Amino acid sequence: MKNRLIQTIMAGMLALSMVFGTIQPSAQAEEATGITVVDSSQELVNGKMKVSFDVRNGGRGTTAGFIVVGYDEKGKVIEVIGDSTYLMSNEIETFEVDLVSGSKVKEVKVLPAEPSGNQAVLLEYGTRTEKGSIEVSGAVLNASEGRRVGMLVVGYDANGKAVEVNSGSSYLMGSEVATYNIQLKAVNQIKSVKAMVIDSTEDAVKLLQTGSRVENGKLVITGSIQNRNEGGRVGVIVVGSNSSGKVLEVNTTTGYLTAKEIGNFEAELESGKAVSGVKVFLTGTSQTPKIIAEGKTRINNKLVVTIGVENGTKSQRITVKSTAYDSKGRSLGSDTDSMFMLANETTTLRMDYNDSRVSSVKLKYYDEAGKEIGAEPIRIKINGQLQSYAQAPMMVNGSVLVPMRPIFESLQASVKWDQKSQTVTSSKGTTNIKLKMGSKQATVNGKAVALDSAPRSVQGTTMVPLRFVAAALGCEVKWDKNEQMVLITTK
């Protein structure tokens, strides 16, 4: 008979004398089909509750999963261990599992894992407090196909606010059961804990959950993110604002995640309780360098500026020029600083102004070629394809203007330009559009339509309002504010 030892090792447990307890196996019938648990027992050995049991497969050969659940004297789940193995038809295998909660475990249940179908499931999780932290253990059963799966844990305060987030993930084979042990540090603030399985099939970088708490005068932000279907560098920018919406402080973190990997981040804001609102941005997909946010606050009566910078697809040196001013607007001089950034890296640039006379600053940023880095450029995607124009799109009065000819041609519409009347005419199917330079009135099939922004000439290129053009030609138009991107879907 094969033996398999599963041990969860945790520091700080004291050796205790041996005791015996009761156990409730989920099934005892030898004739039962499917996966059953038989001949279970438990005893306290060297401070750990050792659980021994047999798992029987009464059907065809399959991956057999199980969980061992430990309860305290109040019936609360405090520890969970799960595992799985392949069993032939009518095969029985013996397992031994150590619950490190030891004498705190007053009851044990061993349960077989039922098939989960197309999505991974969280079978059970337990929580216990040990040596100043909350230990969360859980068992996850994967779907029938191998994939990366994780468990996310969120700690809440007495008001139901998320104060800490942590997670773990691994690649699981089809129908495999895995144990995740996750720790939460904010034991004095957390009053309840919730765990959930992470099994996303979307091809996107996702912010799963964030939590924040004040600790030692600083605001600590924790969170978990899941990567897209392809490995790559992913960054996080945390922006803290006061009650008036003014950005006080920015902090960032970045790292490489493999395909579908779940990663954790932690960032601190020194402004602490002065921060009343937090926003978290994911980065790592920009083609060009971007300044995501600038924070300005005073620490010890001195101005401190923090800047969240995301680099593009080229490793290069980013330079910032700073000009300081006093309270009357008089210049106190300029200074420059620079930093080398890897491709798609996200980082924080911090500038401390030791001169207490500094009241405000103006900042300019430059890439390695000396080109000034401005606000995030507006990008256009048509049916998922990123567009490239010689004249960059621009925002005017809330409307995105794009070069006339490329946009009409991309939407399979004809375009004509009448120099004398300064009029653009376009046709697609039964739809006819007319726009006039400088006029906020257009026509669609002879009917007047008001525009938010009039067509105009920019460096010799005729620019037209994108949303109006796309919608008039029967397209669906969406605006992604975080990415500064217009998403167009043709019908």
- Condensed to tens digits (0 to 9), the pLDDT of residues 399-419 reads 889 989 889 988 999 999 988
Cβ-based neighbour number of residue 400 at 10 Å: 23
Does 40 score more than 50 pLDDT? yes
Band the pLDDT of 373: cuts 50, 70, 90: confident
Q: 162-173, pLDDT tens digit by residue?
A: 999 999 999 999
The H or E element spanning position 466 is helix 466-472
Q: What is residue 299's three-state secondary structure?
A: strand
Q: 148-162, pLDDT tens digit by residue?
A: 999 999 999 999 999
Across the range 281-287, mean pLDDT stands at 81
Band the pLDDT of 59: cuts 50, 70, 90: confident
Does 467 score more than 80 pLDDT? yes
The structure tokens listed for 252 are 């960032």
Check residue 377 and give its pLDDT. Answer: 66
Q: 203-243, pLDDT tens digit by residue?
A: 778 899 999 999 999 999 999 999 888 888 889 999 999 98
Does 14 score more than 50 pLDDT? no
Poorest-pLDDT segment among 10-19, 205-214, 381-390: 10-19
49, 98 Cβ separation under 8 angstroms: yes
286, 268 Cβ separation under 8 angstroms: no
Residues 210, 213, 218, 219, Cα dihedral to 10°: 30
Cα separation, 129 vs 160, whole angstroms? 19
Q: 296-351, pLDDT tens digit by residue?
A: 998 888 999 999 999 988 999 999 999 999 999 899 999 998 999 999 899 999 99
Does 3 score more than 60 pLDDT? no
Band the pLDDT of 482: cuts 50, 70, 90: low
Band the pLDDT of 379: cuts 50, 70, 90: confident
55, 64 Cβ separation under 8 angstroms: yes
Check residue 422 and give its pLDDT. Answer: 92
Cα separation, 125 vs 200, whole angstroms? 20
Band the pLDDT of 428: cuts 50, 70, 90: very high
Check residue 33 and give its pLDDT. Answer: 57
Mean pLDDT taken over the chain: 87
Cβ-based neighbour number of residue 388 at 10 Å: 10
Check residue 481 and give its pLDDT. Answer: 73
State what percent of residues in the chain have pLDDT above 90.
Answer: 60
Band the pLDDT of 375: cuts 50, 70, 90: low
